Amino acid sequence: MSNEIEIQRDYWNREISAFGSIYSQDKSRFSIWLDKVFRWDMFERFAFTIQNCEPIENRTFLDVGCGTGIFSIELAKKSAAKVVGIDIAENMVEQSTQAAQGEEVADRCSFFHTDLLEYAPDGTFDVTFGIGLFDYIDDALPVLKKMREVSTDKAIVSFPRFWTWRAPVRKLRLSIRGCPVYFFTKRRIAELMKQAGFERHSVAKIGKLHCVVGYCGKE
Ligand SMILES: C[S@@+](CC[C@H](N)C(=O)[O-])C[C@H]1O[C@@H](n2cnc3c(N)ncnc32)[C@H](O)[C@@H]1O
């Protein structure tokens, strides 16, 4: 495991409750209000991803950097044939596994503790997605290439936008907490998607994010 991955793993193992509470809203009313004002795009990117996974029924999905598993579990509940979530933080994998059992979708939704670059799936997936993942990855290209390699239909990814007033604030806030964070321009995203081998891609601007769909085939 590289030094960068170890830093990430330790950070996300520590931050699991704070991160999970953004979705569960198990927090004070004031914190919920702050999330609505400053993190509304996290909820929008969830909707964007699920919508772009359609059709979901009987298809297969790989959730890279699955976190607490909410995307994977939603897809399993919507009758995906198979969903695999992977994450470098073992606490995230454990919590996701428990959540899938609680939601009674563990028969088609499983989670593994691994870095994508070391993951050797026993087949391809219709759709792979990495949401809130590239924020923390210095060298995005090998990760995008691997996503392309294991996808047959499309990959859905989010990138934090470079030109927002909140980017430097977030960079400072997270670097104080020992977590490097990276930002992307649309031009850089276009280069990356092309180099990774996607035939074409579309970009939607959602708040502080570029939400991107990379297509494996021509049409
Ligand atoms: C901000 S969380 C996002 C979780 C989830 N996708 C969501 O949006 O709710 C990013 C997650 O990516 C994981 N991660 C970072 N680099 C990874 C890698 N190379 N392979 C697998 N997981 C990774 C982290 O451990 C963390 O749990």
pLDDT score recorded for residue 50: 98
Chain mean pLDDT for the chain: 94
CB 94 within 8 A of CB 68: no
pLDDT score recorded for residue 81: 98
Q: Which residues line the pocket of ligand 1, CB cutoff 6 A?
A: 8, 12, 64-67, 70, 86-89, 92, 115-116, 131-133, 136-137
pLDDT score recorded for residue 170: 87
Residue nearest ligand 1's atom 24 by CA: 65
Arithmetic mean of pLDDT, 88-107: 97
Res. 33: pLDDT tops 90 = no
Which CATH fold would you assign to the domain 3-215?
Rossmann fold (3.40.50)
Q: Exposed e or buried b for every residue in 55-71, given b needs 16+ CB within 10 A?
A: ebeebbbbbbbbbbbbb
Residue nearest ligand 1's atom 20 by CA: 115
First-to-last C-alpha distance (Å) of the chain: 38
In angstroms, what is the span from residue 63 Cα to ligand 1's centroid?
9
Res. 101: pLDDT tops 70 = yes
pLDDT score recorded for residue 179: 83
Arithmetic mean of pLDDT, 108-115: 97
In angstroms, what is the span from residue 64 Cα to ligand 1's centroid?
7
CA 38 to chain centre: 19
Arithmetic mean of pLDDT, 156-185: 89
If one residue of 4, 15, 73, 88 were mutated to test the ligand 1 pocket, choosing by the most ligand atoms within 8 A of its CB, it would be 88
pLDDT score recorded for residue 110: 98
pLDDT score recorded for residue 9: 93
Arithmetic mean of pLDDT, 180-197: 95
- Low-confidence winner among 23-37, 74-88, 133-147 (lowest mean pLDDT): 23-37
Sheet with 209-215, side-by-side order of all strands? 109-113, 82-87, 60-64, 125-130, 151-160, 209-215, 200-206
pLDDT score recorded for residue 20: 86
More confident residue, 176 or 190: 190
In angstroms, what is the span from residue 7 Cα to ligand 1's centroid?
12
pLDDT score recorded for residue 160: 95
In angstroms, what is the span from residue 70 Cα to ligand 1's centroid?
12
Arithmetic mean of pLDDT, 28-33: 87
pLDDT score recorded for residue 219: 67
Arithmetic mean of pLDDT, 178-202: 95
Res. 37: pLDDT tops 90 = no
Which atom belonging to ligand 1 lies closest to the Cα atom of 89? 25
